[in-house]
């Protein structure tokens, strides 16, 4: 009996020891399975990250493109202490990094460190060659991990870290081209568009898929290509081709810089558009920035004012109202309108002109920009036709230009246009807001047989396989009858020949347009600051262009009127277009 009891007591003890042994064995297996033993892998994977597409001008210049970025990684445990200085000096020479920064990185951590994140493709290739030379020179030595007992030799590795955007011509075509922002995905730096064309065409420019090769590897670490290998083709983003000529763009940008300084203006915007197709040949601002290095003081320049800034247009609205009157046959261009010496009262408001005419023909109300005259003529439109007419011309609707964040503008409510005073002040461009591109599109109607066409900056995009896909198919909307558009065109030409736009006159070309000068509202009150604009067209026998200029807040003494600010800029642009062969005056034979 005692022996039996003794044996029975041993069984639980042995079972306990067995359980303990099994737990220790399981924990040991788990430990060795989870730690990085740096054992050679049988398979390898090589990822080739796709790049964002480029943006190119009409004449083939690359405005924006992406380049690959690489980073240099070294395991400091593998650097021979006796040859550390050699490594530091050679790496600095090949990479361009300072010796001080390299020393700091190497001495800061005993293990794997990144020496540089901004290595381009050429430098990456050179550094790979350097790494091979350093192995032969004995700069790298084996290191035994005391924890795992594994010996390894890593040395210097150059690995892909992402992409960065290059803007070859710095501030040219900004803010229209826009800029990008970085983000991290799987430890790779990617980019996406934030403003301008980069934002609007983000989906087209974005890379489609990264390339990859996966398979077994040989003793040297190279992937063996066989039937078991997995290959995915790299597909970059499409390239965007613009209608804009970089040469004309740069010429006008330089011109706007000079005028901004001369007129002491906040900003000057200008655009040239093909009247028939809507192709934008130039869209320039005096307020630009370098997308690769945006300074804090340039933050206000990031917005594309041509679409993101709405303002009261002033007298450039008068031709719109006049064309509605012609369409409804409510006015004859030769009707006489009493101007009362340039002073007219509606209700409690006194409307004034800058001229003291007593009588003007209806069309000369536009030619000489009479507020008194257009205020009276506008009363002939009933409020429904007035409201619908403004809508038809595109007020409070996007222009359709291929830029993001377009401001729609505002206009009076239908009920307000029952009021005589609202009809009057809206007719000469107050109480209504529009952006620059909306007004350019509206004036294009007068130069395009009454048809509206949306402005287009980009012409087509081309995928990596060479397929072209054209953007912005021609869609025309007949806004006013052809005969009304032709009549308005003649009136606008007369405005340049004899009226407020006479400073834009150039012999041998058909030039028409309308000035607009409007007070700026600050804190719900009109100030002594102004926006001055001139919208019109310049045509020869074979070409028709719609051109707009906006001068924001000119402060040069006595130069707030559009005839002294926007009109001279307009004329200078036309003269450059003649010089570059876009226009050929009848009395000029251009030399070869």
pLDDT digits (tens, 9 = 90+) for 347-367: 889 999 988 999 999 999 999
Q: Please identify which residue in the block is written with the tokens 């047989």.
A: 449
pLDDT attached to residue 124:
86
**Quick one: pLDDT at residue 267?**
98
Q: Where are the chain's structural domains?
A: 68-162
Give the pLDDT confidence score for residue 39 in this predicted structure.
Answer: 46
pLDDT of residue 147: 76
Inter-axis angle of helices 371-378 and 318-327, nearest 10 = 40
Cα–Cα dist 582/515, whole Å: 24
Q: Does the N-terminal peptide bond of residue 175 adopt cis geometry, omega within 30 degrees of 0?
A: yes
What's the predicted TM-score (pTM) here? Answer: 0.84
Q: What is the pLDDT of residues 249-293, one digit of tens each?
A: 999 999 999 999 999 999 999 999 999 999 999 999 999 999 999
pLDDT tier at 157, thresholds 50, 70, 90 = confident
Question: DSSP of 316-344, one letter per residue?
Answer: GGHHHHHHHHHHTT---TT-EEE-GGGEE
Residue predicted with more confidence, 228 or 477:
477
pLDDT greater than 50 at residue 559: yes
Helix (H) or strand (E) holding 267: strand 267-274
Q: Which two tokens stand for residue 178?
A: 């826009």
Are 51 and 66 within 8 A, CB to CB?
yes
Instruction: Pick the most confident of 449-463, 516-530, 578-592.
Output: 449-463
Q: Supply the pLDDT for residue 24.
A: 81
Q: Which residue do the tokens 């291929």 mark? A: 402
How crowded is residue 230: how many other Cβ atoms within 10 Å of its Cβ? 11
3-state SS assignment for residue 458: strand
At residue 473, the pLDDT reads: 63
Burial 435-454 (b: 16+ CB within 10 A, else e): bbbbbbbbbbbbbbbbbbbb
The tens digit of pLDDT for each residue in 286-330 reads 999 999 999 999 999 999 999 999 999 999 999 999 999 999 999
pLDDT above 90 covers what percent of the chain? 64
Output the pLDDT for position 35.
54
The class that CATH gives domain 68-162 is alpha beta
- Mean pLDDT across 217-246: 81
Distance CA 503, CA 194 (A): 40
CA 379/CA 418 separation, integer angstroms = 9
Band (pLDDT 50/70/90 cuts) for residue 158 is confident
Please state, rounded to an integer, the average pLDDT across all residues of the chain: 90
Q: Are 459 and 279 in contact (CB under 8 A)?
A: yes
Predicted pLDDT of residue 575? 98
């Amino acid at each position: 009996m005692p022996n039996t009891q003794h044996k029975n007591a041993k069984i639980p003890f042995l079972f306990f020891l067995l359980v303990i042994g099994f737990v220790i064995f399981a924990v040991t297996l788990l430990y060795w399975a989870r730690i990085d033993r740096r054992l050679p892998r049988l398979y390898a994977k090589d990822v080739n990250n796709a790049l964002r597409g480029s943006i190119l001008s009409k004449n083939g210049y690359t405005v924006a493109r992406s380049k690959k970025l690489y980073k240099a990684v070294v395991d400091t445990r593998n650097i021979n202490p006796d040859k550390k200085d050699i490594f530091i000096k050679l790496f600095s020479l090949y990479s361009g990094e300072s010796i001080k920064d390299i020393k700091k990185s190497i001495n800061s951590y005993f293990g794997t460190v990144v020496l540089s994140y901004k290595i381009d493709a050429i430098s990456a290739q050179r550094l790979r060659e350097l790494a091979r030379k350093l192995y032969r020179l004995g700069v790298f030595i084996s290191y035994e991990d005391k924890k795992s007992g594994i010996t390894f030799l890593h040395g210097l590795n150059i690995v892909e870290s992402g992409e960065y955007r290059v803007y070859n011509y710095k501030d040219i075509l900004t803010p229209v081209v826009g800029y990008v922002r970085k983000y991290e995905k799987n430890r790779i730096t990617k980019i996406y568009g934030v403003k301008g064309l980069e934002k609007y065409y983000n989906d087209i420019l974005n890379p489609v898929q990264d390339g990859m090769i996966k398979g077994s590897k040989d003793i040297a670490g190279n992937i063996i290509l066989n039937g078991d290998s997995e290959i995915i083709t790299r597909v970059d983003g499409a390239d965007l081709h613009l209608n804009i000529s970089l040469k004309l763009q740069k010429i006008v940008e330089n011109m706007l810089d000079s005028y901004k300084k001369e007129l002491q203006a906040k900003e000057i915007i200008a655009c040239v558009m093909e009247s028939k197709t809507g192709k934008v040949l130039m869209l320039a601002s005096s307020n630009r920035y370098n997308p690769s290095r945006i300074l804090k003081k340039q933050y206000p320049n990031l917005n594309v004012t041509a679409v993101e800034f709405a303002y009261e247009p002033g007298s450039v609205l008068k031709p719109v109202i006049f064309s509605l009157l012609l369409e409804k046959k409510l006015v004859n261009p030769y009707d006489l309108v009493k101007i009362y010496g340039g002073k007219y009262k509606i209700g409690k408001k006194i409307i004034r002109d800058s001229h003291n005419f007593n009588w003007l023909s209806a069309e000369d109300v536009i030619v000489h920009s009479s507020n008194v005259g257009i205020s009276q003529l506008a009363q002939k439109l009933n409020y429904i036709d007035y409201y619908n007419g403004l809508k038809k011309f595109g007020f409070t609707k996007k222009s359709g230009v291929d830029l993001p964040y377009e401001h729609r503008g505002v206009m009076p409510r239908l009920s307000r246009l029952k009021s005589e005073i609202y009809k009057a002040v809206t007719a000469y461009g107050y109480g209504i807001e529009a952006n620059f591109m909306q007004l350019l599109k509206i004036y294009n109607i007068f130069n395009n047989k009454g048809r509206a066409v949306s402005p287009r900056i980009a012409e087509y995009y081309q995928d990596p396989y060479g397929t072209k896909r054209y953007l912005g198919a021609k869609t025309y909307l007949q806004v006013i009858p052809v005969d009304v558009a032709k009549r308005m065109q003649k009136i606008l030409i007369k405005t340049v020949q004899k009226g407020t736009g006479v400073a834009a006159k150039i012999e041998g070309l058909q030039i028409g347009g309308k000035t607009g000068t409007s007070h700026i509202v600050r804190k719900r009150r009109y100030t002594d600051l102004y926006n001055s604009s001139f919208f019109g067209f310049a045509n020869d026998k074979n070409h028709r262009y719609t051109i707009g200029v906006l001068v924001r807040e000119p402060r040069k003494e006595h130069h707030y009127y559009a005839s002294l600010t926007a009109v001279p800029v307009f004329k200078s642009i036309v003269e450059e277009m003649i010089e570059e062969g876009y226009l050929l005056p009848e009395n000029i034979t251009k030399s070869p």
